[in-house]
Amino acid sequence: MTLTSDELLTVLTAVANPHRMRIVAELRDGRVHVSELARRLGMSRPLLYMHLDKLEKAGLVAGQLELSEDGKAMKYFELAPFDLHLTAETIIMALREDAAVGGDNMKESTP
């Protein structure tokens, strides 16, 4: 699968943060409940959710809401399968994909 430049930028932005890299590392052994993940990382749940949202939009993690036995909503996150290789060719292919779908993300902005 070839990414567009917007998709590539979303992925690169998602991993270009030390907190989000720590989240990925914590999820490497399987799915974790949000409260447990926040405890492990020493991070507030609102901040964690902000970082998880960026990772989820990039397709790097997946969240799933489940009901506990007592009817409480429980949110779990796990890594989505991904293999990130950044090369000059990856960037060129993303730009070609943009051109193929009629996009041009390299337009100059006017002052």
Domains and CATH numbers, the chain: 5-97 (1.10.10.10)
Q: Write out pLDDT tens, residues 37-90.
A: 999 999 999 999 999 999 999 999 999 999 988 988 999 999 999 988 889 998
Predicted pLDDT at 101 = 74
Alpha-carbon dihedral sign for residues 90, 91, 94, 96: negative
Look at residues 16, 50, 39, 37 and name the one whose alpha carbon lies nearest to residue 79: 37
Report how far residue 102's alpha carbon sits from residue 98's, in angstroms, rounded to the nearest whole number.
6
Instruction: Look up the pTM and report it.
Output: 0.81
